[in-house]
Amino acid sequence: MKPVPPSRLALAAALALALAAPAASALTIYSAGPGKLIDTLAAEFKRASGVGVDVFQADTGKVMARLQAEAGNPRADVVISASWDSAADLDRRGWLLAYSSPNAAQVPARFKQPAYVAQGLSVLSIVWNSKSGTPRPRDWSDLTQPAYKDKITMPDPAQSGASLDLLSGLQGRQSEQTWQLFGALKANGMVIAGPNAQAMNPVLQGAKAVVFGAVDYVALGNQAAGESIEVIFPKSGTVVAPRPMMILKSSKAADDARKFVDFVLSPRGQALVAEAYLIPARQDVAAKRQALKDIKLLPELDAGQSLAARATALHRFATLFGRK
Q: How far is CA 267 from the centre of its chain?
A: 20
Nearest by Cα to 277 from 167, 120, 129, 158: 120
Report H helices in 144-211. 161-174, 176-187, 196-205
Nearest by Cα to 232 from 120, 150, 149, 124: 124
Q: Is 116 annotated as a binding residue?
A: no
CB-based contact 292:240 (threshold 8 Å): yes
- Report the SS3 class of residue 241: strand
What is the C-alpha to C-alpha distance for residues 50 and 43, in angstroms, rounded to an integer?
A: 10
What is the C-alpha to C-alpha distance for residues 275 and 269, in angstroms, rounded to an integer?
A: 10
Which backbone phi and psi does 245 adopt, to 5 degrees? -115, 130
Annotated binding site for Fe cation: 217
Annotated binding site: 217
